[in-house]
Chains A and B, each alone.
Chain A
Amino acid sequence: MPSDQGRRPVREGPIDCAYSDDGVRVVLDGSPRTVRAALAVTLGALAPLRLSRDTIQSLELVLAEVMNNIVEHAYADVPSGRIELRVDLRNGALSCQTLDDGAPLPRGLVPDPPRPEPADAPQGGFGWLLIKSLVSDLDYVRAGRRNRLRFRLPVVQAA
Chain B
Amino acid sequence: MIIDTHQTEDATVLRVRERRLDAAVAVQFKDAVRAASAGARGRVVLDLARVDFMDSSGLGAVIGVHKMMPPHQVLELAGLRDAVAQVFRLTRMDTLFTIHARAPGAEEPAADPAQAIHHHAV
Complex interface: chain A residues within 8 A of B96 (CB): 118, 121
Which one of B24, B83, B95 has the greatest number of beta carbons of chain A within 10 Å? B24
Q: Is the CB of A121 within 8 A of B22?
A: no
Partner of A32, one of B23, B61, B92, B93: B23
Chain A residue nearest to B30 (CB atoms) is: A123
Which of the 9-residue segments B9-17, B37-45, B49-57 touches chain A?
A: B49-57
Q: Is B64 an interface residue (CB 8 A)?
A: yes
Cα(A58)–Cα(B89), bound, Å: 13
Partner of A134, one of B20, B59, B90: B90
| Count of chain A residues with a beta carbon within 8 Å of a chain B beta carbon | 26
Q: Is the CB of A129 within 8 A of B24?
A: no
Cα(A68)–Cα(B93), bound, Å: 20
Known pairs A36-B20, A126-B91; A64 contacts B55 (CB<8 A): yes
Partner of A130, one of B23, B53, B90: B90
Q: Is the CB of B83 within 8 A of A60?
A: yes
Q: Is A127 an interface residue (CB 8 A)?
A: yes
Complex interface: chain B residues within 8 A of A127 (CB): 56
Q: Is B66 an interface residue (CB 8 A)?
A: yes
B112 to chain A, nearest CB (A): 9
Binding site for B on A (CB under 8 A): 32-33, 35-36, 53, 57-58, 60-61, 64-65, 68, 71-72, 116, 118, 121-124, 126-127, 129-130, 133-134
Binding site for A on B (CB under 8 A): 20, 22-24, 53, 55-57, 59-61, 63-64, 66-67, 82-83, 86-87, 90-93, 95-96
A sample of 27 cross-chain residue pairs with beta-carbon separation below 8 angstroms, ordered by A number, consists of A32-B23, A35-B22, A36-B24, A53-B82, A61-B83, A61-B87, A64-B22, A64-B55, A65-B55, A68-B22, A68-B23, A71-B23, A116-B91, A116-B93, A118-B95, A118-B96, A121-B66, A121-B96, A123-B60, A124-B60, A126-B56, A126-B59, A126-B91, A127-B56, A129-B90, A130-B55, A130-B90
